[in-house]
């Protein structure tokens, strides 16, 4: 029978973020504390977002979670760590007595439903958006107003960076308890309006080692990774922050590419070695360097995470020409109309000079499609009750 009082439900959305100074390696596996600081760009939720509804009710008999319509195991350790952390913060706030006591809701079970508006298989950082969204929704349901870095971080390290829009740094922190390992905004999403982001989704050749196991092996075996964390990243964080603040695309682009390359070098220095880039990834790298050399300056910059998809940063006025160059080198197999998703890009022909400069053998279908997007804001609350993913019975609404 239906509960007489509908559950208290909150729905929010959260963004994907792309690191330009990479996080790779933990100093504490349990608390998810990194061996170095990192800096990321938050992508716009019009193109990529996770939507999560969290609901609590005295009628729920257990915690439950559904991802993209499928019920998942609520007992998995990182999800449990998030729930424990948010309930701890809620208790702490209640005992501080600054609010009418609502101690009952703390013992209520929670139902969570989450969907991505992009294919999880596309290998885009869905765990960061997912855990940021979960932390944000749970905080609203439980009335927690403190910093959520720790809640999100316990789910997925990079998730703490998705709690803010614009340009975000995750400070590694010094403390053993991780209280100072938090995210903070370096510049808001409005700071650099011309910046554009193109995600080149590559035919997934096959999923290699996941990032959790990968980074653990790197920490244990790569001396290059230790050198990177201690001797390279601190100066790069300062330099990247300067490039963002001054909107220096040349500096931003070069450092983004160098840091991506160094991250993948530490993967190869891991024993046994890890390789996340595919042949197509390497062709994209070559294309970007050819394109920049032709123009005599850094007009586009790539970065790759633990997978073969390229994320390319550029300024708005370069987007049409670079998209044309990608089409030239990776002719779309059939889905010409579906090849470009997201922000509209006006088609332009490639100049003969650039065609000649791109000495890349065309690889038809190498890039499945491009998502064109830009820098965007942090998590948002959806006030429209129709947006809830859970119905009044606390179960997922049937897909419309």
Q: Which residues contact 73 (CB under 8 A, 6 or more apart)?
A: none
The side-by-side arrangement of strands in the sheet containing 183-187 is 17-21, 38-42, 167-170, 183-187
pTM equals: 0.94
For the chain, which residues make up each domain, given as ranges?
8-191+382-387, 195-374
Mean pLDDT over 330-348 rounds to 88
What distance in Å separates the CA atoms of residue 262 and residue 240, rounded to the nearest whole number? 15
Nearest CA to 163 out of 195, 141, 138, 143 is that of: 138
Looking at every residue in the chain, the average pLDDT score rounds to: 93
Query: Domain 8-191+382-387 adopts which CATH fold?
Result: Ribosomal Protein S5; domain 2 (3.30.230)
Give percent helix, percent strand, percent coil of the chain, each to the nearest 5: 40, 25, 40
Mean pLDDT over 341-370 rounds to 93
Q: 399 pLDDT exceeds 80?
A: no
Q: pLDDT at position 335, please? A: 61
The rounded percent of the chain whose pLDDT value lies above 70 is: 93
Tokens matching residue 118:
């992009």
pLDDT, tens only, 193-238? 999 999 999 966 555 678 888 999 999 999 999 999 999 999 999 9
User: Between 3.30.565.10, 3.30.70.890, 3.40.50.300, 3.30.70.260, what CATH number should domain 195-374 receive?
Assistant: 3.30.70.890
Nearest CA to 273 out of 227, 228, 208 is that of: 208
What distance in Å separates the CA atoms of residue 369 and residue 201, rounded to the nearest whole number? 6
**pLDDT band at 94, cuts 50/70/90?**
confident
Instruction: Judge whether 345 and 52 are in contact, CB under 8 Å.
Output: no
What distance in Å separates the CA atoms of residue 244 and residue 192, rounded to the nearest whole number? 8
What distance in Å separates the CA atoms of residue 9 and residue 53, rounded to the nearest whole number? 7
């Amino acid at each position: 029978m239906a509960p007489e009082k509908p559950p208290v439900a909150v729905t929010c959305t959260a963004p994907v973020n792309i690191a330009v100074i990479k996080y790779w390696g933990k100093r504490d596996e349990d608390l998810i504390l990194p061996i170095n600081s990192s800096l990321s760009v938050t992508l716009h939720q019009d193109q990529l977002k996770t939507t999560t509804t969290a609901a609590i009710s005295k009628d729920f008999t257990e915690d439950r979670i559904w991802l993209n319509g499928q019920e998942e195991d609520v007992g998995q350790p990182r999800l449990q760590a998030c729930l424990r952390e948010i309930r701890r913060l809620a208790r702490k706030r209640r005992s501080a007595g600054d609010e009418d006591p609502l101690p009952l809701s703390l013992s209520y079970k929670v139902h969570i439903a989450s969907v991505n508006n992009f294919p999880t298989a596309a290998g885009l950082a869905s765990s960061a958006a997912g855990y940021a969204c979960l932390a944000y929704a749970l905080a609203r349901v439980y009335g927690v107003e403190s910093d959520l870095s720790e809640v999100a971080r316990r789910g997925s390290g990079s998730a703490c960076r998705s709690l803010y829009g614009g340009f975000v740094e995750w400070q590694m922190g010094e403390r053993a308890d991780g209280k100072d390992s938090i995210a903070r905004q370096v510049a808001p999403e409005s700071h650099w309006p011309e910046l554009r982001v193109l995600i080149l989704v590559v035919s997934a050749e096959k999923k290699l080692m996941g990032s959790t196991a990968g980074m653990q092996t790197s920490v244990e075996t790569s001396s290059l990774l230790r050198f990177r964390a201690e001797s390279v990243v601190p100066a790069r964080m300062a330099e990247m922050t300067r490039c963002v603040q001054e909107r220096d695309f040349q500096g931003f682009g070069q450092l983004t590419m160098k840091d991506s390359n160094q991250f993948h070098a530490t993967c190869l220095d891991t024993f046994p070695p890890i390789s996340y880039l595919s042949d197509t990834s390497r062709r994209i790298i070559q294309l970007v360097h050819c394109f920049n050399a032709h123009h005599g300056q850094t007009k586009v910059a790539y970065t790759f995470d633990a997978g073969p998809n390229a994320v390319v940063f550029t300024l708005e006025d370069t987007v049409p020409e670079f998209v044309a160059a990608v089409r030239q080198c990776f002719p779309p197999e059939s889905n010409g109309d579906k090849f470009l998703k997201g922000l509209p890009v006006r088609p332009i022909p490639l100049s003969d000079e650039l065609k000649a400069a791109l000495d890349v053998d065309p690889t038809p279908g190498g890039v499945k499609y491009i998502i064109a997007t830009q820098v965007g804001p942090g998590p948002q609350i959806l006030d429209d009750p129709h947006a809830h993913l859970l119905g009044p019975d606390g179960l997922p609404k049937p897909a419309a």
